[in-house]
Amino acid sequence: MRIVIAGGHGQIALRLERLLAARGDEVAGIIRKPEQADDLRKAGAEPVVLDLESATVDAVAEVLRGADAVVFAAGAGPGSDATRKESVDRAAAVLFADAAERAGVRRYVIVSSMGADPTHRGDEVFDAYLRAKGAADEAVRARTSLDWTVLRPGMLTNDAGKGLVSLAASTGRGAIPRDDVAAVLAELLDTPATSGLTLELITGSAPVAVAVKGVAGN
């Protein structure tokens, strides 16, 4: 498959690029800073320099044309303010969905967050983040032209992945290594029957492939 990842230099994205490249997929990662390109090449991905906060739908669609699937894994990141949560975590995800539709790419997987909710209350930056992620999820899920899957991991860690997860519409709170998030994303891309699902993800007892097959078609 050819897979294009938004937020290609993110911690989850780099892990996913390595997994996809290792299994023979053709991978491109969209990045904002040219100096990040070598890290993507080392991960086995083609770097595409494009700022999703200022790019047009047509410019992004041109990058996506010919892809079999896209993954939105971009985020404003720690230390960013509420304005950038809106411009990256919500608006860029919507732009990416617009571009996928225009390019004729149906498969769209979005990395969200446990607790994402457009009506979430609170005045802290993290509250704004959860609202932005929730609004992005809603905008993607409203599109009948996309075979979407929304993945909502719990608290992310840099612990070594165990390959054992809990994946369900509701898992309860918990943590999950970024290694395992990437592994689940790779498996979701291989499992079209997970389209139309919003899934929470934490560490659990099921091997990744078993966990994904367990929710497929539900």
Q: Which of 129, 148, 149, 154 is catalytic?
A: 129
Q: 192: which residues sit within 8 A by CB, 6+ positions away?
A: 107, 147
One-letter identity of residue 157: T
Residue 42 CA to residue 57 CA, distance in Å, equals 28
Q: Is residue 202 classed exposed, middle or buried when 0-12, 13-18 and 19+ CB atoms within 10 A define those classes?
A: buried
Residue 93 CA to residue 164 CA, distance in Å, equals 28
* Cβ(57)–Cβ(33) below 8 Å: no
* Cβ(116)–Cβ(137) below 8 Å: yes
Is 108 tagged catalytic?
Answer: no
Residue positions annotated with a catalytic role: 129
